[in-house]
Amino acid sequence: MLGLNKKDTSLLLIVAVLTLLAPFILNPFPEGSAMAQFNAGYPDLMQRFVIFGIFAIGFNILFGLTGYLSFGHAAFLGVGSYAAVWMFKLISYNVIPAILLSVVVAGLFSLLIGFISLRRSGIYFSILTLAFAQMSFALAYSVLSNPKFNLTNGETGLQVYADDPQWFHRANAPDLPHLFGVSMRSTYTMDVGGWSFDFNAGYYLCAVIMMVVFYLAIRIFRSPFGMMLRAVKSNQQRMNYTGLNSRPYTLAAFVISGMYAGLAGGLMAAMDPLAGAERMQWTASGEVVLMTILGGTGTLIGPVLGAGFIKYFENIFSKINDNVLHSWFAFLPDGMEDFMVFIIHPFIGKGWHLTLGLLFMLVVIFLPGGLVEGGQKLLNWVRGKRKDKKTSGKTEPAE
């Protein structure tokens, strides 16, 4: 199917089912119940799941295949966001031109940075990318916000104003990002018993794009080009000794990865037409590294799982406060209730990073291959149990 083998086709179908049915899967608990706090099926969070999934998929093409660890990929995310917002300001609110421009601009920017950074490898390459990202952040935050040529609007962030040209903006089109008239904020809510499911236009646009780029990532992984990138990761020096120049391959991987990041940035602006310099900080680059390692470096679905895992903790666990904890443990005696709240308090709310850090540490220690390795071990354990049952059910003939 679509040029993929059976295993990859199954993987693509799994991603398609998970993304298309996300409003149901992410809302397992009825509204108003004590466990509804853990529901994640609202549009803003679902959009973040798929957008950062795209970001992580692109980063994995560079890091997972070539082994080149970039600490500056947030620069391409930010550049993509700025390009999309400028398209909204100058052309119209239609998201298609904005997304295309964000990919092109991020691709050109990554070509420039990659051409310089890839002259070095290892930690030197990582430091170079980090330096470029921080320079980009400084430019966006201060230099390019100069009133003479205000390209980024500094710390306030770039946004669309009523007096912007928007040369092709139709009078009957929404004054919000839209896809040929369909607003990205358009949401249909379906109530079924105690459950409430939101179907958001912006989320499904991001979901369809993620399925397309995931398919492209599969083709890259399985192509001769992907094999050359794996050779770079395996032993680049030996590859160079054979007479093959690895620089064009690593530069191509860097540019493709940067274009994925630019696409993610463009989608972020399409969901919320605002671009700020904070998207280019080193912390955003570190976040995508964590997503990829947590999910499984070099695997196809791992970065998507890692992105969803981290964004879930960031948005769900950070909202839990002491009042919620008291409601959970209200059935306990007063002293025991207060004790439980005291124990759990450091791990929720503003302390959600501590919980994520502990989980990340456990995954790295016990599952070096990330969440994908954990899933594979669980699947093998289930298969082993079934095999044991079948074996124990057989009767041996009497001798």
Q: List the beta bridge partners of residue 274.
A: 159
Hey, is 35 helix, strand or coil?
helix
pTM across the whole model: 0.92
Asked if 139 contacts 306 with a C-beta cutoff of 8 angstroms, the reply is: no
Domain positions in the chain = 6-281
Give 6-281's CATH code, choosing from 2.40.70, 1.20.1070, 1.25.10, 1.10.3470.
Answer: 1.10.3470
Cα 113 from Cα 285, distance rounded (Å)? 15
User: What torsion, rounded to 10 degrees, do the Cα atoms 103, 104, 106, 109 define?
Assistant: 170
Token code pair at residue 27 = 């809302």
* pLDDT of the chain, 399 residues: tens digit per residue: 677 888 899 999 999 999 999 999 999 888 877 778 888 888 999 999 999 999 999 999 999 999 999 999 999 999 999 999 999 999 999 999 999 999 999 999 999 999 999 999 889 999 999 999 999 999 988 888 877 677 888 888 888 888 888 898 887 888 889 998 899 999 999 988 888 899 999 999 999 999 999 999 999 999 999 999 999 998 888 888 888 888 999 999 999 999 999 999 999 999 999 898 888 888 889 899 999 999 999 898 999 999 998 998 888 888 888 888 888 888 888 889 888 988 988 888 888 888 888 888 888 888 888 888 888 888 888 888 777 666 665 555 444
Cα 219 from Cα 204, distance rounded (Å)? 23
Cα 319 from Cα 352, distance rounded (Å)? 9
| Owner of token pair 């005696």 | 333
Task: Using alpha carbons, select from 256, 356, 295 the residue that is nearest to residue 49.
Answer: 295
